[in-house]
Amino acid sequence: MGFEVTTTNGIRHLVMDNPPVNALMVAGWFELAELLTEAGRDPEVAVVILSAAGKGFNAGVDIKEMQNTEGFDALIGANRGCAAAFGAIYDCEVPVICAVHDFVLGGGIGLIGNADVIVAAEGTTIGLPEVKQGALGAATHLSRLVPPHRMRQMVYTAEPIDVSMLHEWGSVAEVVPRDELLATAERIAEQIARHSNLVIRAAKESLNAIDPVDVRRSYRMEQGFTFELNLSGVSDEARDAFVEKRDPTYKR
């Protein structure tokens, strides 16, 4: 359980392995952020491939940890940890390729939304189920993947969509059979790594500099609304219902 890290020919592989669905606890989000930052600072690394073992790429935060922790430490930690991991992908000094399969949910959207390149296995779905848990967040990153009105529909309904739609929109580079996923990511990584490392690092920094949206500030704004919802009590009921596998009872 945790992360597997290997480097071959300038390609750093970071593999998330946190059964059963790769939902990360607070410490996991911060660890991922550290690993991404370290990868970018390593002069021998030209590109990072972030993938996952087992079922699903990422199912977001570990809601059970939140509900089993007294007070708000786990909630605050998850929010700060997610922000750190999302930011670490965006600020990583080299390009980050996300290779996704099965599903990408919640915090997983924050990861791929800040990635430089995305490849996906056939049948992968992506979604933001946050409203089901009385929360908001990662619409900032979803808006980098899908058109504005589709993003709004996905936030409001919490319904996922098939990754093939993202391929049609150009957000996902390739959709391939599951057993070809890593090979596809590696092929693209090799195309990047063959260029000057200095030039690629400059390209990453320059592309971030011309981004029209400050992703850190935008996501922080979303987090503020999540904290308000937690103070209202609606979020706790939604998370309790999720853990207890029942329908939530809202006081509207």
Kindly state whether residue 251 falls inside one of the protein's structural domains. Answer: no
* C-alpha span between 34 and 14 (Å, rounded): 11
- Which CATH number covers residue 27? 3.90.226.10
Residue 114: the pLDDT is 98
Kindly state whether residue 203 falls inside one of the protein's structural domains. Answer: yes
DSSP β-bridge partners for residue 6: 13
State pLDDT tens for residues 231-251: 888 887 878 778 888 888 877
Q: How confident is the model at residue 1 (pLDDT cuts 50, 70, 90)?
A: low
User: Does pTM surpass 0.85?
Assistant: yes
Kindly state whether residue 63 falls inside one of the protein's structural domains. Answer: yes
Number of domains in the chain: 1
Query: 228: which residues sit within 8 A by CB, 6+ positions away?
Result: none
* C-alpha span between 77 and 81 (Å, rounded): 6
By three-state DSSP, how is residue 195 classified?
Answer: coil
CB 23 within 8 A of CB 61: yes
* C-alpha span between 71 and 39 (Å, rounded): 34
Kindly state whether residue 75 falls inside one of the protein's structural domains. Answer: yes
Averaged pLDDT, 12-30: 96
State pLDDT tens for residues 117-147: 999 999 999 999 999 988 899 999 999 999 9
Kindly state whether residue 104 falls inside one of the protein's structural domains. Answer: yes
Kindly state whether residue 226 falls inside one of the protein's structural domains. Answer: no
- Domain holding 122, by residue range, is 2-178+196-209
Residue 133: the pLDDT is 86
Averaged pLDDT, 2-7: 96
Kindly state whether residue 244 falls inside one of the protein's structural domains. Answer: no
Kindly state whether residue 241 falls inside one of the protein's structural domains. Answer: no
* C-alpha span between 29 and 86 (Å, rounded): 9
Mean pLDDT, rounded, of the chain:
94
DSSP β-bridge partners for residue 99: 119
First to last CA, the chain: 39
Averaged pLDDT, 33-55: 98
Please compute, for residue 67, the number of CA atoms within 13 A of its CA located in the half-sphere on the CB side: 16
Query: 56: which residues sit within 8 A by CB, 6+ positions away?
Result: 21, 22, 101, 102, 103, 104, 105, 108
